[in-house]
Amino acid sequence: MKLQKLYSYARRAIDDYNMIEEGDRIAVGISGGKDSLTLLYALHGLMQFYPKHFEIIAITVDVGFKGMNFEGVSALCDKLGVDYHIVHTDIAQIVFDERKESSPCSLCAKMRKGALNETIKELGCNKVAYAHHRDDVVETMLLSLMYEGRFHTFAPVTYLDRMCVTVIRPLIYVHEADVIGFMRRYDIPVVKSTCPADGNTRREYAHNLLKQMMVEDPAIKNRMFTAICDSNIKGWERQEGAHY
């Protein structure tokens, strides 16, 4: 995927769901993975020509896993001229060493979001951008069906009342395969996760299940995504003129 295609996908999602308003100060959550760095490229590029003026700040919550080096991300932000903040925490020690959680992902995610939200408010941001892409939308729906018994997924835009912050997801139209292609084309400095639970989660199970279904029916993911867009899930109401 080339930059122009990435900009097109992101701008369409932003326009369809009114994600950005004039004067927004947007925090970009950077895990160091391919998705969040692709999001950084997308918003940085759109910032140059989008009709509504906005600014971005990149934030990484370092949970404390050994071997994770964010120097490449820092160098990329310097190159793009994006303000970059790393929030150092002891989350890994608390979750794995002290509490010895058998299912650590939920607590880890909660603590990461807490640290991120606190930094967002300190930096005066009114919005935060998450890097969930099209595959994430469908996989979350599958997880909800299998483990909650309901047809549901996260919304393109979510307002967090307690934080007075709006979450936006500009990559919801981007396929994971395109993200992988973009990463390879532009040699993005991805930070490899050293989390001991990486690859052993329910989400990974849903990810592999979707891949297996697509082997038999390559169009099944697109039909699932269309079903979500046409559903009555809160936040996914069809926008006039939207293209999915």
pLDDT, tens digit (0-9, with 9 covering 90-100), for 46-72 = 999 999 999 999 999 998 888 889 999
Partners of 85 in the beta sheet? 59
Tell me the C-alpha distance between 36 and 41, whole Å.
Answer: 9
Number of H helices, E strands in the chain: 9, 6
H/E stretch holding 60 reads strand 54-62
Per-residue confidence at 240, pLDDT binned at 50, 70, 90?
Answer: low
Cβ atoms of residues 99 and 105 within 8 Å: no
pLDDT at 95: 85
CA distances from 30 to 39, 62, 74, 239 (A): 9, 10, 11, 29
Q: Which domains does the chain have, with CATH numbers?
A: 3-229 (3.40.50.620)
Tell me the C-alpha distance between 188 and 179, whole Å.
Answer: 11
pLDDT, tens digit (0-9, with 9 covering 90-100), for 145-170 = 999 999 999 999 999 888 889 999 99
Q: What is the pTM of this model?
A: 0.92
- DSSP result, 170-227: TTTT--HHHHHHHHHHTT--PPPP--TTTT-SHHHHHHHHHHHHHHH-TTHHHHHHHH
Give the list of residues 6+ apart from residue 97 with CB closer than 8 angstroms, or none.
Answer: none
Tell me the C-alpha distance between 241 and 114, whole Å.
Answer: 36
pLDDT at 175: 96
